[in-house]
Structure 1
């Protein structure tokens, strides 16, 4: 069990989106989300799991305030700083700034000189702090994006398939790094993925979504401590999940 107190987070993440719709080029309404309701307790790591195109990323955009055209409500965790951090599919680093400058840029002016040595060290970025994004591999750029998110000690962290397009070996290494950093700086986290094994490895709970329009089919609680999620026990978790959600493979 992880007894590290949550960083800056107070209260759960609550989501109750009645409907989110778009209009096609022809003006036809396309419903992306309908009756989507779930809750993530304070300090938990949750995954939104569902097929491609089911509305997972749209849900994150609503929660990040990037899309305000929807009906319903949501409540973000409160905290001492009220900060929200996000890690997207692309690192979105500013190419004219170094890794360290990219990370420090998100900090309030009074915190720009904050000691980040431990964070850089934990993500294996110490040796590349002075490099520019063009000099980084995609894996290192993804690490820099994680560092930028955790540097603010957010009340809630959103992740939109941050390891997509990486080879499996690199992705697995970054999943372990993410868990290591999150465990030391535990905050409420919600990650979008369509990778079941990834969700089982990372999360405390998996919120299973239907094909679009997105709604919750159910929640799978991963009660096994992360240090015991070895290959054999992962197979047991996979079987348990598929027995409950046979449509998700």
Structure 2
């Protein structure tokens, strides 16, 4: 069994749900499969304003997903602290795999995320936004990967979280499908606004979705820099996104 390499840090939820997400990870070390200690994170500190969309980008293996797991509360053995915006701890996560139960219908999979107090909530508007109104009775095996990821997004937004975490939710999709889902994500997020934190390797995706992009260095990772995007989303056409991507690539060499 791996030793306890870092002390366990409490993850607190502030009393004001409109407060930002604050992350300060001043150290994260773990034991690799070969028994060698891996110093994954040196110092990652950032703030995501309430209701904003923030993206982490960095080289493979730099600790992006580790940081996401820490924010989610799945990894408590680290140095530092995390302050979440929701006093009730309502957090939704969307992973690379949709993780749907094959013996449950689309609607049943989505309703599984609801608490007993709201399990009968009318979700017609949510199904309409994500384009699943005609798919409610289908089973996951009847869905394409793109549709399955729509279900995963709907399940996340169904609980009306104050914090949404996304771990490369559109990876392995063809660009046309991924672009459609990015537009869908923004549409649902705009309708059910929440503080969002996403991990991606795709700079163009980050430019499409984000209010701010946080660039991380190689392991042990630190914050290389932050790029804030002020352009309204309805004005981020393909030409603007490509130009902005080039501007960022010039500013942060090696990110493409």
With the shorter chain as reference, the TM-score category is over 0.9
- Do the aligned residues in 2 keep the contact of 1:149 with 1:157 (CA within 8 Å)? yes
Match of 1:186 in 2: 193
Are the structure 2 counterparts of residues 9 and 173 from structure 1 closer, same or farther at C-alpha, using a change threshold of 3 Å? farther
Q: How many residues align?
A: 241
Match of 1:49 in 2: 57
- When normalised by structure 1's length, the TM-score is 0.94
- Do the aligned residues in 2 keep the contact of 1:204 with 1:221 (CA within 8 Å)? yes
- Do the aligned residues in 2 keep the contact of 1:16 with 1:36 (CA within 8 Å)? yes
CA displacement at 1:171 relative to structure 2? 0.5
Match of 1:3 in 2: none
| Partner of residue 155 from structure 1, selected from 162, 169, 176 | 162
Higher relative contact order (CA 8 A, sep 6+): 1
User: Deviation digits for residues 91-117 of structure 1, max 9, x if unmatched?
Assistant: 011111111011111111121110100
CA displacement at 1:9 relative to structure 2? 4.2
Aligned ranges 1:97-246 → 2 under 5 Å: 97-246=104-253
Moved over 3 A (4+): none
- The 2-side partners of 1:77 and 1:227 are apart by 27
Query: Which moves more between the two structures, 93-102 or 193-202?
Result: 93-102
CA displacement at 1:26 relative to structure 2? 3.7
Please, which runs of 5 or more residues in structure 1 have no aligned partner?
1-7
- When normalised by structure 2's length, the TM-score is 0.91
- Do the aligned residues in 2 keep the contact of 1:9 with 1:156 (CA within 8 Å)? no
- The 1-side partners of 2:103 and 2:29 are apart by 37
Match of 1:31 in 2: 39
